[in-house]
């Protein structure tokens, strides 16, 4: 007896409640977490910097009656920023827009795509400007062999390294030359993996917790208010080539003093100056617009952002490169 088959009663269609897209969790990115983001109205401007040493010399003296007091002064200079404008766009042609099936929304997806690409650019630039050798006054390399000047044993060498002592030395080094206690430790993901399994650290924590070591636990153990883990990922291949990926931050670590609230007479290892002029007057630090490209018979979704990552006080940072194997 003939019976309808599955193929005759059902035609495969696109599901409208799911789709698959690799949208990286924005919480993986740290570019707006580490240093304060200063929203500025002008693309470039200047700021005042006071001479550090003038505030640390002990020059007050006893004063006898009828004599002048000891006196002094301080130096004042200016620094500057200049925000570079970064932009990216995606075109959505009329034919694609007219024929898109649910749940596709080409214009909304283009906006998401453009925004994510700009955030990735900012993350990569943050690592270039702040998370690299030659940037900070205190610059150390991790080595597999015996450490010499400005070197430490790689923290992945569990038998020979002492990351707790290395970080304590760095805290004391910054405090003793600036009067500021470091309050932020930034770790590349590979460094975090090595530290949370390091026997010295596990041994310190095992008496208070049976849980896996977390960033909060490291913060408490190192007595550093913030431990930030960089988890951003980028593709390292060109379009069309074999796919390859890497973490944006690599095997590095940075200890720094960061101003909790930027203000006058307030030191900070770094700031990110972000120009609000890219948002068409609404005051945002990233702007996305859509406009007609008639010659292409398409709508263009374009995003812009403008920023300058600025090292303000290099002596408030302590950097380790290649600190794990």
Angle in degrees, CA 286, 289, 295, rounded to 5: 140
Q: What is residue 241's three-state secondary structure?
A: coil
Instruction: Return the top range by mean pLDDT from 19-23, 26-30, 48-52, 253-257.
Output: 253-257
Region 290-314: mean pLDDT is 95
Report pLDDT digits (tens) over 59-107. Answer: 999 999 999 999 999 999 999 999 999 999 999 999 999 998 888 899 9
Model pTM greater than 0.85?
yes
Q: What is residue 177's three-state secondary structure?
A: helix
Counting residues of the chain whose pLDDT is more than 90, the rounded percentage is 82
What was the pLDDT predicted at 291?
A: 92
Q: What is residue 188's three-state secondary structure?
A: strand
- Residue 145 clears pLDDT 60, i.e. is over it: yes
Counting residues of the chain whose pLDDT is more than 70, the rounded percentage is 92
Report pLDDT digits (tens) over 189-241. Answer: 999 999 999 999 999 887 777 678 899 999 999 999 999 999 999 999 999 99
Higher pLDDT, 233 or 3: 233
Instruction: Report whether 107 contacts 301 (CB < 8 A).
Output: yes
Neighbouring CB atoms inside 10 A of 68's CB total 7
Q: Are strands 37-40 and 270-275 parallel, antiparallel or unpaired?
A: parallel
pLDDT band at 37 (very low <50, low <70, confident <90, very high): very high
According to DSSP, the residues that pair with 256 across neighbouring strands are: 184, 317
Q: What is residue 226's three-state secondary structure?
A: strand
Cα–Cα distances (Å) from 260 to 33, 79, 257, 266, in that order, read 11, 20, 9, 9
């Amino acid at each position: 007896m003939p019976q309808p088959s599955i193929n005759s009663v059902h035609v495969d269609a696109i599901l409208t409640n799911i789709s698959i897209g690799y949208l990286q969790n924005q919480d993986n990115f740290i570019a707006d977490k580490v240093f304060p983001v200063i929203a500025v109205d002008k693309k470039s401007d200047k700021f005042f910097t006071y001479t550090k040493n003038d505030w640390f010399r002990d020059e007050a003296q006893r004063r006898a009656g009828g004599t002048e007091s000891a006196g002094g002064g301080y130096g004042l200079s200016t620094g500057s920023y200049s925000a570079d404008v970064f932009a990216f766009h995606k075109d959505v042609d009329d034919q694609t827009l007219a024929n898109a099936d649910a749940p596709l929304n080409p214009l909304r997806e283009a906006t998401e795509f453009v925004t994510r690409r700009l955030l990735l650019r900012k993350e990569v630039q943050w690592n270039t400007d702040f998370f690299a050798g030659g940037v900070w006054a205190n610059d150390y390399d991790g080595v597999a062999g015996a450490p010499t000047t400005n070197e430490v044993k790689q923290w992945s060498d569990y038998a020979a390294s002492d990351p707790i002592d290395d970080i304590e030395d760095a805290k004391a080094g910054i405090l003793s030359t600036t009067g500021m206690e470091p309050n932020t430790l930034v770790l590349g993901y590979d460094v975090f993996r090595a530290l949370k399994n390091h026997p010295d650290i596990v041994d310190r924590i095992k008496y208070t917790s049976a849980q896996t070591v977390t960033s909060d636990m490291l913060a408490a153990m190192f007595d550093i208010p913030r431990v930030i883990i960089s988890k951003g990922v980028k593709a390292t291949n060109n379009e069309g080539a074999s796919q390859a990926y890497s973490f944006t931050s690599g095997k590095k670590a940075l200890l720094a003093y960061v101003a909790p609230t930027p203000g006058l007479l307030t030191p900070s290892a770094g700031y990110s100056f972000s120009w609000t002029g890219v948002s068409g007057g609404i005051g945002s630090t990233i702007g996305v617009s859509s406009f007609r490209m008639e010659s292409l018979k398409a709508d263009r979704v374009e995003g812009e952002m403008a920023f300058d990552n600025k090292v303000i006080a290099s002596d408030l940072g302590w950097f380790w490169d290649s600190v794990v194997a």
